[in-house]
Structure 1
Amino acid sequence: MLALSLVALALHGALAGLFYTFSMSVMPGLNAIDPAQAEAAMRSINRKILNPWLYLVFLGSPLAALVAGLLADAPAAFWFFAAAAVNFVGSFLVTVAINVPMNNAFEAGTMPWKDYASRWTAWNTLRAAAGVVSLVLMGAGLTAL
């Protein structure tokens, strides 16, 4: 139980860090260069980020928290379920419903950089915040074990 909870904590930390890094450094860095270069770089990033390591963290963090909640006793279970719920809504659903469709429109050339960058970053920052909240909730669950 402890090992699974620690794995879930690490997965949440990796996901929060990924989203945080994009909002706080990658996107500002891309916004500081020529838009055509930024577009090419972001398209490359969007293609390369789709890999098994992303899927492990992206799908694994809410699932690991959910399983930890199912295996834990109260009050730890509450915190793990809360982490899974915040992660699912704030990271998974936002990604699927908002960021991925924007990525697809951007890739197709129907959304220019000037429209894409600020909107995508705003939603990504929400994902980062949800990731941090989920991480804290996982930590609270660990202290309740």
Structure 2
Amino acid sequence: MIEGPYFVLTVLGAVSCGLVAGVFIGFSTFVMKGLAALPPAQGIAAMNAINVTAVTPAFMAVFMGATGVCAVLAVVTFVLWPDEGTVELLLGCALYLVGCFGVTVAANVPRNDALAKVDAGSERGAAYWRTYVTEWTMWNHVRTVAATAASVAFVLGLT
């Protein structure tokens, strides 16, 4: 049975991954659809503003906090190798670290950086916006599923 500080760490993993999943599902289900409905120049401006404000301490504490908790939890799980919950905990860590943090770094952030460089009022900007919305949202779906599945895996590891 998982107990003590290890229990607290696992609960923190479940909660923090669940919080990140909640942010991402909001983007996948209505924020991106709302931005896509705007004229391209307005959608680009709004998304660029969101991307700047997303790296504030409040969101980054949750997003990077979940990353840190998952990294520590993976190491602790390998060291302690509990009788129960090991597979679920390691699966949850891998899901978040690869499917959420890794996808953010490899797919979403590069698209955000490219969006920041386009001329929002140009035809090239409008064309990139259409591609951006589709691709960014698809990768955001991956992050949402990964963070949700990680949270579920942690809860299963506790049961």
Could you state the TM-score of these two structures normalised by the residue count of structure 2?
0.82
Mapped partners of 2:112, 2:17: distance in 1: 23
**Is 2:113 aligned against 1:97?**
no
| Aligned pairs, number | 143
**Is 2:123 aligned against 1:79?**
no
Q: Which of 15, 33, 43 is 1:10 aligned to? A: 15
The letter for the 2-side match of 1:11 is: S
The letter for the 1-side match of 2:139 is: W
In the alignment, which residue of structure 1 is the partner of 2:154? 138
Contact 1:66/1:81 (CA < 8 Å) preserved in 2? no
Aligned-pair CA distance for 1:56: 2.1
Aligned-pair CA distance for 1:52: 1.9
In the alignment, which residue of structure 1 is the partner of 2:122? none
Contact 2:70/2:96 (CA < 8 Å) preserved in 1? no
- Over 3 Å counting, the alpha-carbon distance change for 1:77 and 1:21 in structure 2 is same
Mapped partners of 1:23, 1:120: distance in 2: 9
Moved more, 1-10 or 90-99: 1-10
Percent of aligned pairs sharing the same letter: 35
Contact 1:62/1:83 (CA < 8 Å) preserved in 2? no
Mapped partners of 2:134, 2:13: distance in 1: 31
Could you state the TM-score of these two structures normalised by the residue count of structure 1?
0.89
Mapped partners of 1:10, 1:129: distance in 2: 15
Contact 2:92/2:154 (CA < 8 Å) preserved in 1? yes
Aligned-pair CA distance for 1:80: 1.5
Partner deviation per Cα, 1:64-107 (whole Å, 9 max, x = no partner): 23433515623223211111111111011111111111100000
In the alignment, which residue of structure 2 is the partner of 1:38? 43
Aligned-pair CA distance for 1:3: 2.1
Mapped partners of 1:121, 1:47: distance in 2: 18
In the alignment, which residue of structure 2 is the partner of 1:19? 24
- Pick the structure with greater CA Rg: 2
Which runs of 5 or more residues in structure 2 are unaligned? Answer: 1-5, 120-124
